[in-house]
Amino acid sequence: MPSTLAILGGLPLRTRPFSTWPVFDAREREQLDDVLTSSNWGGFPSPNRKATEFAAAFAAYQGARFAIPTTSGTSALEVALKALGVGAGDEVIVPAMTFAATPYAAVACMARPIFADVSAANACIDPDCVKRLITRRTKAIIPVHYGASLADLDALAEISRAHSIPLVEDCAHVPGARFRERGVGTHGALGCFSFQSTKPMTAGEGGMITTDDPDFEQRCQSLINCGRRRPGDTFEGPLMGANYRMTEWQCGILLAQLARLPEQIERKSRAAARLREGLGAIKGISPIARDPRVTREVIYAFVFLVDESALGVSRNRFVRAMRAEGIPCGVGNDPVYRSALFPRESPAYLKACELAGASAARITIDCPVAERLFEHAMVAVPHECLLGDDRDVDDIIAAAAKVASGAAELAAANLDKSG
């Protein structure tokens, strides 16, 4: 009998597309036209009206005192660490499960990134592992809020206070999220956001730094503006900065994106609740639960885990079969120290290790949870799949149930690729 699984020759469960991303309407067009006709497109020395407006609006939405627009989430992380004074010979603790920008920011400061394992419960940095990795050289800890989960900010804040080591929250995935009714990016010394093209609010590129500290705000503003000092700035010492300023075009787009973000957050969170319930009823599939301390949930990627033994097929084959059924999904970030985008044989990383008194060739990185999640368990559905209606969510559930029911046949199949 022919298989019903699409990957084995059957008909796909879904053929119509999911919601497209990014979402835009007349509000973005109006903002762009306003910038165009103003003849003030951003940069120095023009007064950046849109940048000032967007920074104030974003700070208010996150509950931060200050917000500083930057060229990208990567530059936001780099500037945040430099504002803290992180430099040559220092160490910065980062999670194993993240994009290359997170450890790169440390290397850009000539500091060594130290890779902490993640929690199996949510793929965010494990506070117990952080404690074990602290040394006299540790100058910052960067928790990454991953997918739709927030790092354990209670435990991390306690570690930060106990050791006087500042937290820099990497909030690239979750603009608008709240932990215990406080916006992410306000639980540590600084927070960093990304507006790259796939993020929940986007201008194609762009980033933001949030802080409540006036001195850090002044330092960040100087560092993104080629080291210039504004009238009235009082921070000590000269800073060597660069041009990391966001343009007026991007700030206008992001003002429009911010206006529709609350409704999108609510819609995706409702869809995620439905998806968790449906997937949780399928043997071998475990959606990552929403932490009750997360009082506003933001979805960048809906992450669930498969138990290969219980399911009876490898995670890789499960993902390939889901895609064949018309469901976009992936496997999340590989452990960043294995990523081609963070080559540990690069001169920059080798030098950062050397300055911190370590030989890169002798460094052992032990992150078994991150390795297991990436190799065998994690499945990620992009956030735009949750912007439609209940039928879209139900199709994801139905496809997962279909693949799970055909797991034995899928496992035995002679596919053209390994997995």
DSSP-derived pairing of the beta strands 178-179 and 182-183: antiparallel
| pLDDT computed for residue 347 by the predictor | 97
Pairing of the two strands 91-95 and 138-141? parallel
- Confidence (pLDDT) at 418: 54
Specify the pLDDT at position 416: 72
**Token pair recorded at residue 131:** 């404690």
* Residue closest to 142 by CA, chosen among 92, 80, 212, 88: 92
Kindly state the average pLDDT of the residues 389-408.
Answer: 97
Three-state secondary structure call for residue 307: coil
Q: What is the pLDDT of residues 330-362, one digit of tens each?
A: 999 999 999 999 999 999 999 999 999 999 889
Q: Are 297 and 177 in contact (CB under 8 A)?
A: yes
CB neighbourhood size of 128 (10 A): 12
Q: HSE on the CB side for 151, CA within 13 Å?
A: 37
Q: What is the pLDDT of residue 302?
A: 98
Residue 217 reports pLDDT greater than 80: yes
- Vertex 163: Cα angle to 160 and 167 (nearest 5): 25
Give φ, ψ of 370 to 5 degrees: -60, -40
% of the chain at pLDDT higher than 90: 95
Beta strand 378-382 with 301-306 is: antiparallel
Residue 233 pLDDT greater than 80, yes or no:
yes
Confidence grade of residue 419 (pLDDT, cut at 50, 70, 90): low
**pLDDT tier for residue 417 given thresholds of 50, 70 and 90:** low
Beta-strand pair 138-141/182-183: unpaired
Residue 193: half-sphere exposure toward Cβ, Cα within 13 Å: 31
**Domain segments of the chain: what residues?**
26-256
The one-letter amino acid at 182: R
Is residue 97 a contact partner of residue 336, using CB atoms and an 8 Å limit?
yes
Per residue in 244-271, pLDDT tens?
Answer: 999 999 999 999 999 999 999 999 999 9
Residue 180 has pLDDT above 90, yes or no: yes
Q: Could you tell me where the DSSP H helices lie in 281-367?
A: 308-311, 315-324, 347-355
CA distance 185 to 174: 10
Give the mean model confidence (pLDDT) for residues 292-319: 98
- Name the architecture of domain 26-256: 3-Layer(aba) Sandwich (3.40)
Rounded to an integer, the average pLDDT of 182-190 is: 98
Backbone angles phi, psi at 269, to 5 degrees: -70, -40
Query: In the prediction, which pLDDT does 361 show?
Result: 82
- Over 90: is that where the pLDDT of 384 sits? yes
The lowest-confidence range among 70-74, 110-114, 361-365, 382-386 is 361-365
Position 162 pLDDT exceeds 90? yes
**Mean pLDDT, to the nearest integer, of 281-292?**
97
Span 26-84, pLDDT tens digits: 999 999 999 999 989 987 766 789 999 999 999 999 999 999 999 999 999 999 999 99
What is the model's pLDDT at position 1? 42
Supply the pLDDT for residue 2. Answer: 53
**What Rg do the C-alpha atoms of the chain give, in angstroms?**
22
Q: Is the peptide bond before 45 cis (omega within 30 degrees of 0)?
A: yes
